[in-house]
Each structure stands twice: as C-alpha cells, then as structure tokens.
Amino acid sequence: MDLDKLPDGWTIYVWLIAGALIIGAAIYALRWAKRNEQFDEDIKYLVFDENDKDKMTPEEFKKSQEVMKAQMKRREEFLKEKAEAERLRKKS
C-alpha cells in the first residue's frame, strides 16, 4: 500500500480512531475499577495493625479498626460467593 496515493486528510481518521480507542479503554478501566471497589478512600487504613496504635491518634486508630473489621466482613462475603459459584459450576 502506497501512502502517497491516499487522498489528503486521511490521517485525521487515524487520529480519530486512535482517540476513540483510548477513550473507550479509559471508560472500561474506570467502570472495572468502580465495580471492583478500587476507589475506597479508607484503604489506607488497611496497612495498620495493633502494633501501630502509638503512631496514630485515637480517632485514626478507631477508624483503622472499623475499616479492618468491615474489610474482613467483605472478604468473608466474597469467599462465600466464590465457594457458591464454584459449587454451582461443579454441579452443572
């Protein structure tokens, strides 16, 4: 294919397609992140444990413990859902 024989202005279509693909990928990535709980602002508290109590204010420590408890509950729910899906998959 000889690019010199193409009509003038063809490159704008290449840029439009590339831009549309980039926007599509960004939208897909943001939707994936939202569905998979990636925008949780409290995730920073998950790196702390009981040994970090002296490094935090009492309010931060309390928040850290609440977030950890909620995260563990969510983990248990996820594992139950995964086990149920696996059981159904083996059943069929």
Please tell me the predicted confidence (pLDDT) of residue 10. 86
Number of structural domains the chain divides into: 2
Same domain, 62 and 51: yes
> Are 64 and 92 in the same domain?
yes
Q: What is the pLDDT of residue 48?
A: 79
The verdict on 79 and 89 lying in the same domain is yes
Contact 20, 28 (CB under 8 A): no
d(CA 19, CA 40): 29
Domain match, 28 and 61 both: no
Q: Which residues contact 32 (CB under 8 A, 6 or more apart)?
A: 38
Over the chain, what is the mean pLDDT? 88
Q: Of 57 and 47, which is predicted with more confidence? A: 57
Task: Provide the domain limits for residue 30.
Answer: 1-39
Residue 45 near residue 68, CB atoms below 8 Å = yes
pTM (predicted TM-score): 0.55
pLDDT of 32 higher than 70: yes
- Does the pLDDT of residue 1 top 70, yes or no? no
CA 49 to chain CA centroid, nearest Å: 24
